[in-house]
Amino acid sequence: MDLSPAFLQRMEEARQEGIQTERRATIENLLRVRFGSLDDELSAIITQLLELPPEEFTRLLLQSSREELLNRFGR
């Protein structure tokens, strides 16, 4: 079965979108668990955290204080 290049490209884009959505959910959940809620300041740093490899953002979210995260990625 031959699939068109456009279809294959769309399938890959959908896969990437799914990975990005899952990573965002993971980051949001870790922030909620660590800090009790996801306020505007924490929400603002999620995009920057998504740019990091999962191992790095997980370590940072588990080991850094709220202030350390905001100083590094926000403000």
Mean pLDDT of all residues in the chain?
Answer: 93
Is a pLDDT exceeding 90 seen at residue 74?
Answer: no
Q: How confident is the model at residue 23 (pLDDT cuts 50, 70, 90)?
A: very high
Which tokens is 75 given? 């403000």
Look at residue 75 in the predicted model and tell me its pLDDT: 67
**Distance (Å, whole) CA 47 – CA 51:** 7
* pLDDT at residue 33 is higher than 70: yes
Confirm whether pTM is higher than 0.85.
Answer: no
pLDDT recorded at residue 29: 96
Q: Please, is 49 exposed, middle or buried when counting C-beta atoms within 10 Å of its C-beta (0-12, 13-18, 19+)? A: buried
